[in-house]
Amino acid sequence: MKVTDRFIKYVKFDTESNTETGITPSTPGQMILAREIEKELRETGLEDITLDDNACLMATLPANTDKEIPAIGFIAHLDTSPDLTGKNVKPRIVKNYDGKDIILNRENNIVLSPVDFPEMLDYKGQDLIVTDGTTLLGADDKAGIAEIITAIKYLQEHPEIKHGKIRTGFNPDEEIGQGAHKFDVEKFGCEWAYTIDGGPVGELEYENFNAAGVKINIQGRSVHPGYAKDKMVNALIVANKLISLLPASDRPEHTAGYEGFFHLTTVSGTVDSATVNYIIRDHDRDLFEKRKRLMIEAVDFINKLYPNSTTVDIKDQYYNMREKVEPVIHIVDLAFEAMQAVGVTPIVKPIRGGTDGAQLSFKGLPCPNVFAGGHNFHGRYEFIPVRSMEKAVEVIVKIAELAASK
């Protein structure tokens, strides 16, 4: 089965994760997909296949050489982002893209245009996989799953390529920051691994944001508006005041590169009570801590204006994996060399987001991130070039080969 066929098969499974369920996996569709992949791995002939109650699926491709070679792993996640529905995904292949607008959904006038996404022109003449404009596509990270399994199958069929023990790992709930919490690193049994969860072809990342989630509860005082003078405290107005205290320049839409941000994700409520949710991100640990303090100071100020109205809960989610990967930087160099060997120009840059590799690195499994090939993740304009997926397969194979040769 080609990588394209696998990918199209996987994206039709609804695996959107959910922050509210409090269980792992957070949605049943992730386990359904895990069982389907488990069946495929057994048919492929892999060994040591395990699927636990948390939908963490692991398997082994045994070494085909007696040479002493470290066991390495390749990891991808089962879930898709809750930012847009992943139900009833209808993937379509646009053959030989001509550089013009792609009509995703004529009825709803949804158009994927190089005017808005000029990177599309980098793939003129290639086949692109797109959505019908009503869902995300799911290349994040079902492309990674398809690429890993296709690469493993290729290694099985080409025993002349010598490699050590290779472990595959597929886990749930990466998109809600809970995927790696229950990933058993000791059971996985590798010296290092790679998440195949990056963006466009060539991306190679070993730095990511430090991350925290913020929940702010505001208690207002609801009074009939006709008699509200000097009595009403409108929780929605208080929320608006709180939001205005944080620097507008430090929002995602105004930042790039190593710059961090405060990202307002939801505001809900009534006059009586309101809830505000943020995520805080920064590559620099000191600046990250400073951002958390600034959030607390803003809440303290609000409580001076409206005594005892507002509480804040800040929870760290993950940290920058650079400090764990740099001491073993040869694993990044290996991926860099593998890309060059298959004709891919490596693009080494920080992740403006997170990855399971961050949590896994702090659990003792150094884990750089390699491209899966997609663009515009988490939205209806998501697309992935077929050639990019094929190149990801080649890179995985080459990493395994180079690890054995070195």
> pLDDT tens-digit profile of 57-99?
999 999 999 889 999 999 999 999 999 999 999 999 999 999 9
Phi, psi for residue 250 in degrees, rounded to 5:
-100, 40
Residue 280 near residue 291, CB atoms below 8 Å: yes
Q: Distance between CA atoms of 212 and 292, rounded to whole angstroms?
A: 8
CB neighbour burial string for 362-401, b if at least 16 within 10 angstroms, e if fewer: bbebbbbbbbbbbbbbbebbbbbbbebbbbbbbbbbbbbb
Q: Say if residue 266 is exposed, middle or buried (CB neighbours under 10 Å; 0-12, 13-18, 19+).
A: exposed
Find tokens 């507008």 and name the residue. 248
Q: What is the Cα–Cα distance from 144 to 301, expressed in whole angstroms?
A: 45
Alpha-carbon distances of 79 from 317, 378, 386, rounded to whole Å: 18, 11, 21
Q: Are 168 and 61 in contact (CB under 8 A)?
A: yes
Q: At what angle do helices 386-405 and 330-341 cross, to 10 degrees?
A: 120
Kindly tell me the number of DSSP H helices and DSSP E strands found in the chain. Answer: 10, 17
- CB-CB contact of 396 with 158 (8 Å): no
> How far apart are alpha carbons 273 and 198 in whole angstroms?
39
CA distance 257 to 246: 20
Instruction: Report helix, strand or coil for 303.
Output: helix
Q: pTM to 2 decimals?
A: 0.89
Q: Which residues are catalytic?
A: 79, 174
Whole-number Å distance between alpha carbons of 258 and 276: 26
In the block, tokens 């600034």 appear at 294
Mean pLDDT of the 2-27 span: 96
Q: How confident is the model at residue 31 (pLDDT cuts 50, 70, 90)?
A: very high
Provide the CATH topology of domain 210-318: Alpha-Beta Plaits (3.30.70)
- Note the pLDDT tens digit of each residue in 202-254: 999 999 999 999 999 999 999 999 999 999 999 999 999 999 999 999 999 99
Omega before 307 within 30 of 0, i.e. cis: no
pLDDT band, very low/low/confident/very high, at 178 (cuts 50, 70, 90): confident
Place of tokens 């199209």: 8
* Token pair for 88: 């009833």
The string of pLDDT tens digits covering residues 363-402 is 999 999 999 999 999 999 999 999 999 999 999 999 999 9
What is the pLDDT confidence band of residue 354, given thresholds at 50, 70 and 90? confident
Residues of the chain with CATH 3.30.70.360: 210-318
What residues does CATH 3.40.630.10 cover in the chain?
Answer: 3-208+320-405
What pLDDT digit, counting tens, does each position of 240-272 carry? 999 999 999 999 999 999 999 999 999 999 999
By C-alpha distance, which of 86, 76, 81 is closest to 11? 86
- Distance (Å, rounded) from C-alpha 363 to C-alpha 10? 29
Q: Name 198's bridge partners.
A: 371
> CATH topology for 3-208+320-405?
Aminopeptidase (3.40.630)
Whole-number Cα distances in Å, 212 to 233, 241, 279: 29, 22, 6
**In angstroms, rounded to a whole number, what is the distance separating the alpha carbons of residues 94 and 101?**
11
Q: How far apart are CA 133 and CA 139, in angstroms?
A: 14
What are the CA-CA distances from residue 121 to residues 88, 102, 115, 128, 387 (Å)?
Answer: 28, 12, 10, 11, 14
Q: Which residue type does 265 have?
A: T
Q: Give residue 114's identity as a one-letter amino acid code.
A: P
* 339: its two tokens: 């890309």
176-189 burial string, b = 16+ CB within 10 Å, else e?
Answer: bbbbbebbebeebe
Check residue 181 and give its pLDDT. 87
Q: How many CB atoms lie within 10 A of CB 215?
A: 14
DSSP line for 325-362? HGGGTHHHHHHHHHHHHTT---EE---SS--HHHHHHH
